[in-house]
Amino acid sequence: MNSAHRGFLRPLSTGISFIARLCDAAIIWLALSASLRLFNVYESSLYQYATLLSIIFYLLIAEFSSGFSSARLENYGDIAGRVIVSWVFTGIALFLVAFFTKTSIEFSRLAIGAWLLITPILLIAERLFIFFCLRRLRSSIHNTRTYAILGSGNVAKSLPEQIQTLAWTGLQLVGQYDRLEDLLNELENKPIDYVFLTYSESEHEKIVAAIKALNDSTTSTYLVPDLLLSELLGSRWIMLGNTPLVVINDHPFFDGGWLLKKIEDFVLGLLILILISPILAIIALTVKLSSPGPVLFKQRRHGLNGDIIKVYKFRTMTVLDDGDVVVQATKNDVRITPVGKFLRRYSLDELPQFLNVLQGTMSIVGPRPHALAHNEHYRKLIDGYMQRHKVKPGITGWAQVNGFRGETDTLDKMQSRVEHDIYYINHWSLGLDLKIIMLTILNGLMGKTAY
């Protein structure tokens, strides 16, 4: 492959990074201008100063958090997370400036609030669009990078196959080497962008020697741990200081993950609730007029850490079961009202749970909460069942978009649902949440098992 064609964007990387910064600055400015016009607020010089400060703060913070670095080996969630964190700290900096200069009263709270909410969404959309375009280029064998593998064993054999399935990385294999000397000779003849070390833990001296030798080159070096144990247990790796650990059972929100999840729930939950409010009003009126009983059905369910919460749903039945025995809805269930059948078919009865999200008792994405009686029943039959409660329950989840929603009339179905829930917990990322939300919108609402 022609090397110029292979990395034709490499000489333009500085220019692309500069354009990305300009786009970010333009989005911040345009978003504030649009917000001021939306709320009929005069764009005084004070707002112009605020815009300038916000752009400076954001660019500096994003630079510090590597927001403009190459994201070839990262996922959508990593990129979106850095944007959100950078914008949150930008907002904090602006509030501090307004507080100490005693100018906060001069600003429209509605306009500033809308601006603070909509800007990160636009910034993420812009960054993901660029990332998506670059991925398409890499998938079509443009702007690729080369890599080599040093080491032997199962990891060295399986790694090329795994990378091959990730065409969006644009990584092309140069060769696999058992000996460090052979790799170093190859580096003298051709540039290699990435080197993956696949030595086992017992080969500590080889690892140290390889790292020292490769430090004398411009290649990026990665140490690939033996993932066999992690894959067998369905778990993941984390770092405790400089020590890698395999997580068997724990929540996924380490470091700033909990903040990212809270921001995701609040921002998306509030926007969605505002957008669907007319639909909620129409459904509430329809439920009230169609059959006797309350509009909302409140059922006790287990939430985070097994705490009992009240989950809101539009009433779809003639009964309000919430005792020690709760019978799951089945096909042609006589308890379901005609309006309720339609609501359950398209999951519209779940919409009030966005109130739970804003309350903080639920997330948009997470394991679906089960009735208390069902929890007590299945926790005795399915190993690891209660691990589902290490995170907040969700309106939709990984199990639901994979077809495991509605009635679980066999133990195998519930087992599969739990396995998907635990997979979600062990592999959580903002990117996975966004993927689940999109799948829910596209096809999750049409599940054939919902009745």
> Which pLDDT tens digit goes with each residue over 136-154?
665 556 667 888 999 887 7
Q: Are 217 and 338 found together in one domain? A: no
As a whole number, mean pLDDT of residues 307-324 equals 80
Q: What pLDDT score was predicted for residue 253?
A: 72
Q: What pLDDT score was predicted for residue 361?
A: 92
The residue whose two tokens read 């580096």 is: 187
Q: Are 133 and 21 found together in one domain? A: yes
Report which of residues 266 and 216 the model is more confident about.
266
Please report which confidence band the pLDDT of residue 330 belongs to, taking 50, 70 and 90 as the band edges: low
The alpha carbon dihedral of 231, 235, 236, 237 has a sign of negative
Q: What pLDDT score was predicted for residue 406?
A: 64
CA dihedral defined by 54, 58, 60, 65, rounded to 10 degrees?
160
Q: Are 219 and 366 found together in one domain? A: no
Q: What pLDDT score was predicted for residue 153?
A: 76
Phi, psi of 32 (to 5 degrees): -70, -40
As a whole number, mean pLDDT of residues 322-331 equals 58
Q: Are 292 and 390 found together in one domain? A: yes
Fill in the DSSP letter of residue 329.
Answer: P
* CATH number, residue 164: 3.40.50.280
pLDDT at 335 over 70: yes
Fill in the DSSP letter of residue 173.
Answer: E
Q: Does 175 reside within a domain?
A: yes
Q: What pLDDT score was predicted for residue 326?
A: 56
Using alpha carbons, select from 50, 42, 33 the residue that is nearest to residue 98: 50
pLDDT at 445 over 60: no
Sequence-separated contacts (24+) of 60-64 with Cβ below 8 Å: 61/86, 61/89, 61/90, 61/93, 62/24, 62/86
pLDDT at 8 over 50: no
Using alpha carbons, select from 328, 329, 320 the residue that is nearest to residue 297: 320
Using alpha carbons, select from 230, 246, 266 the residue that is nearest to residue 392: 266
Q: Which domain holds residue 70?
A: 3-139
Q: Are 405 and 303 found together in one domain? A: yes
Among 178, 204, 226, residue at a domain's last position: 226
| Weakest mean pLDDT among 178-192, 323-337, 392-406 | 323-337
Q: Mean pLDDT score of the chain, rounded to an integer? A: 80
Q: Does 235 reside within a domain?
A: no
Q: What pLDDT score was predicted for residue 440?
A: 86
pLDDT at 352 over 80: yes
Q: Are 292 and 429 found together in one domain? A: yes
Q: Are 195 and 281 found together in one domain? A: no
Q: What pLDDT score was predicted for residue 237?
A: 63
Using alpha carbons, select from 31, 38, 32, 83 the residue that is nearest to residue 59: 83
Among 80, 109, 139, residue at a domain's last position: 139
Residue 149 near residue 176, CB atoms below 8 Å: yes
Q: Are 173 and 124 found together in one domain? A: no
As a whole number, mean pLDDT of residues 315-331 equals 66
Please report which confidence band the pLDDT of residue 44 belongs to, taking 50, 70 and 90 as the band edges: confident
Q: Does 244 reside within a domain?
A: no
Q: Rounded to whole angstroms, how far apart are CA atoms 261 and 390?
A: 14
Q: Rounded to whole angstroms, how far apart are CA atoms 97 and 304?
A: 37
The residue whose two tokens read 């039945």 is: 317
Q: What pLDDT score was predicted for residue 114?
A: 92
Using alpha carbons, select from 329, 314, 344, 337 the residue that is nearest to residue 447: 344
Q: What pLDDT score was predicted for residue 140?
A: 59
Q: Are 97 and 222 found together in one domain? A: no
Q: Does 245 reside within a domain?
A: no
Q: Are 313 and 195 found together in one domain? A: no
The enclosing H or E element of 220 equals strand 220-223
Q: Does 12 reside within a domain?
A: yes
Sheet strands (E) in 235-291: 236-240, 243-247
Please report which confidence band the pLDDT of residue 70 belongs to, taking 50, 70 and 90 as the band edges: low
Q: Does 250 reside within a domain?
A: no
| Weakest mean pLDDT among 197-206, 234-243, 375-384 | 234-243
Q: Does 417 reside within a domain?
A: yes
Among 172, 203, 226, residue at a domain's last position: 226
Total structural domains within the chain: 3
The pTM of this model reads: 0.52
Q: Rounded to whole angstroms, how far apart are CA atoms 255 and 235?
A: 18
Distance between start and end Cα atoms, the chain:
55
SS (HEC) of 123-141: HHHHHHHHHHHHHHHHHCC
Contacts of 85 (CB under 8 A, 6+ apart): 65, 256, 259, 260
As a whole number, mean pLDDT of residues 225-237 equals 55
As a whole number, mean pLDDT of residues 188-200 equals 85
Q: Are 182 and 277 found together in one domain? A: no
CB contact burial 143-179 (16+ within 10 A = b; e otherwise): bbbbbbbbbbeebbeebeeebeeeebbbbbebebbee
Q: Rounded to whole angstroms, how far apart are CA atoms 241 and 50?
A: 39
Q: Does 264 reside within a domain?
A: yes
pLDDT at 272 over 70: yes
Please report which confidence band the pLDDT of residue 13 belongs to, taking 50, 70 and 90 as the band edges: low
Q: What pLDDT score was predicted for residue 236?
A: 60
Q: Are 357 and 416 found together in one domain? A: yes
The residue whose two tokens read 């394991």 is: 367
